[in-house]
Amino acid sequence: MACQPAAPILEGLNLHLDIDEGTLLANVILLAKTVDENGNVGISISTSPGTSWLDQLGLITAATEMTKPSFACTCEDD
């Protein structure tokens, strides 16, 4: 599996973060579902430098809660 820079791939996905201007990102986890040319489904994960396993666990757990229907999204579609 080849390691590729994420930025060019993400640019075309129209992703947005609901953060105030001037807010710094402390840690980032990129989690992606992949499908290869044979239709095999996989998952890929990458983290920003300095992201500990505890940061990863906390972010993934919080994201799981945020995907539940009871969590209201504050992002507005552009």
Q: pLDDT for 11-38, tens place per residue?
A: 888 888 889 999 999 999 999 999 999 9
Residue 16 placed within a domain: no
Please state, in angstroms and rounded to a whole number, the distance separating the CA atoms of residues 6 and 28.
12
Does some domain include residue 74? yes
pLDDT given for residue 11 in this prediction: 87
User: Average pLDDT over the chain, rounded to whole?
Assistant: 88
Which structural domain range is residue 55 located in? 27-78
Rg (CA), the chain: 15
Q: Does the pTM of the predicted model rise above 0.75? A: no
Indicate the length of the chain as a whole number: 78
Structural domains counted in the chain: 1
Pairing assessment for the beta strands 41-47 and 29-35 based on DSSP bridges: antiparallel
Mean pLDDT, rounded, for 41-53: 95
